[in-house]
A and B are shown apart, each in its own frame.
Chain A
């Protein structure tokens, strides 16, 4: 499902500009499934599905499948409208080097939020 990110993000000029100083790879886990998201100057350069033998990433968003499914609903239920709500609900953990995440929080929210109502939960 995260394979659609290049299409959803790279055509969004405002979002790409917001992430223009970010070049990194981060991991998104949805239950047992994982994806490496490669970011180059705000554009999604590629998305690799797991499983991984030697994954290298700066930060990880590890969430439950149930939590992400609610997050990606077109109109999420209360507390599930944001990744901080998922944190609050114990449905998500931030791990790794959180500096690039915090420095680009709204961009990262925009990237994972791009899947909302776009088949993110399928």
Chain B
């Protein structure tokens, strides 16, 4: 008898970082070049489910994704009930570097979306030597809020309904229903205040504009791919990043929105495969 499991395997890692211990959930699939994937605000590693199930990619890449502390199946640290969760720029950058080091990844490729697409610019600026290539999805360098995010964490409003309401429109209207609603379910499952706390990085403490000049794409190639329907991180914001970073390779993805890898994996595949091919090609 054989059971048709997906090839994705998840494990938990006790992870000491900045004086606290976190229980991190990490999953992976494939073998070859390590590809570390970063989920969006208020979500988790399931956003990369299609990539990890894509044999053409996993035969060359070892795809690894972890749930940030407080997210998905990663727990908040002990004492969480006494504090307000707020993702800061420095914590976010350093925790990614520390996880890559703890997993003993050899110069991984890193790919992040939304807040992840922002933070990879910080990785490129200050940790370029630690990474083989950097891929930003829906990348922007500077915070720009367009609604009052405090509604996402307020008694009287169910936080999962609020998160759903806030992000449901960010995807392209032509993305398949099943994948759109899977993507939204992940949002509805985040803990109270977590999406809101992530947006502290996205809208307040997450400016990387002044670091862009430190990015050296001859040392670490930078690929930026942005879906055209995203009004949160508009393609023009990504183009602005490209203007500040010589050598950055930009793709505006038609027919995709803010969650390209999750809202329409089949279409995203057509954009990401050529990038991964280029990264995997011997230089």
Q: Which A residues form the contact surface with B (CB < 8 A)?
A: 75-76, 78-79, 81-85, 87-89, 98-99, 102-106, 109
Contacts and interface: CB of A to CB of B under 8 A. Distances in A.
Given A84-B231, A88-B232, A105 B161 contact: yes
A76 B157 CA distance: 29
B229 interface: yes
B5 interface: no
Nearest to B184: A106
Interface string B146-179: 1100010010111001101110111011100000
Contact of B174 (A75, A84, A85): A75
Given A79-B234, A82-B170, A109-B168, A88 B146 contact: yes
B156 A84 contact: no
B228 interface: yes
Given A82-B168, A109-B165, A109-B168, A87 B229 contact: no
Given A75-B174, A81-B172, A88-B231, A102 B162 contact: yes
Nearest to A110: B168
Contacts of A84: 146-147, 166, 169-170, 231
A79 B151 contact: no
Contact of B169 (A81, A98, A104): A81
Given A81-B172, A82-B170, A98-B151, A106 B231 contact: no
A102 B229 contact: no
A87 B148 CA distance: 11
B164 A87 contact: no
Main SS at interface, chain A: helix
A81 B229 contact: yes
A106 B229 contact: no
Contacts of B162: 102-103, 105
Contact of A102 (B151, B168, B228, B234): B151
A83 B168 CA distance: 10
Contacts, number: 59
Interface residues of B, number: 24
Interface string B71-100: 000000000000000000000000000000
Contacts of A85: 169, 231
Given A88-B146, A105-B164, A109-B168, A99 B157 contact: yes
A83 B169 contact: yes
B151 A87 contact: no
Given A98-B151, A103-B158, A79 B229 contact: yes
Contacts of A102: 151, 154, 157, 162, 165
A66 to B, nearest CB: 16
A88 B170 CA distance: 11
A106 B228 contact: no
13 contacts: A78-B231, A81-B173, A82-B231, A84-B147, A84-B170, A87-B147, A99-B156, A102-B165, A103-B156, A103-B157, A105-B161, A105-B165, A106-B165
Contacts of A106: 161, 164-165, 168
Contacts of A89: 231
Contacts of A103: 156-158, 161-162
Contacts of B174: 75
A117 to B, nearest CB: 11
A107 B275 CA distance: 39
